[in-house]
Amino acid sequence: MDTQLSILNIAEGTSVDGPGLRTAIYFAGCSHHCLGCHNPESWDIEHGTMHSIDEVIEVIRYNEFPVTFTGGDPFYQVNVVKELARTIKQTFNYDIWCYTGFLWEELIRHKPYVELLQLTDVLVDGRFVLEQRDISLLFRGSSNQRIIDVNASLNNGVPYPAPVLLDGYN
């Protein structure tokens, strides 16, 4: 199995990709090509630098923060991202947030995607829609994007909103 991840950047101690300080991993590869994307260089998987799971785990270990998968779109490297998520859970039991342009309803139709979801605590789903851009929203760029409690959603069979309350926002 491939254990190499194409990564654009690892942001250590970021506070914009989920609550608190987090280690955010920006994966390369995305074919959504959202108009107004804040990270269009992430679309081409070849723009990333190859990292092993062990190398990424060492960065996470050093920072001691929960983790966010973003990009690009982590689901474009689902098999190796799933192994990274499994290692994070087994080693640190950190919570994992994951950003994707796919909708929940699209992801739950594919077994590899569901396997990554099962290792994810919170999913921010949906493509960025420039016409729905809203800078007042917490942890998302446009109002169509949802912050989903993955465990509750898997148990209920429908997307269930994550209770994200921070400084009076949700």
Give the SS3 label for residue 54. Answer: helix
Architecture of domain 4-156: Alpha-Beta Barrel (3.20)
> What are the phi and psi torsion angles at 83 (to 5°)?
-70, -35
Over residues 29-39, mean pLDDT = 83
Exposure on the CB side of residue 113, measured as CA atoms within 13 A? 19
With bands split at pLDDT 50, 70 and 90, how would you rate the model's confidence at 37?
A: confident
Q: What is the pLDDT of residue 106?
A: 96
- Kindly report the pTM of this predicted structure: 0.93
What does the mean pLDDT of the chain come to? 92
Which own/partner contact pairs does 139-146 have at CB distance under 8 Å and 24+ positions apart? Answer: 139/16, 139/17, 139/18, 139/19, 139/97, 139/164, 141/38, 146/104
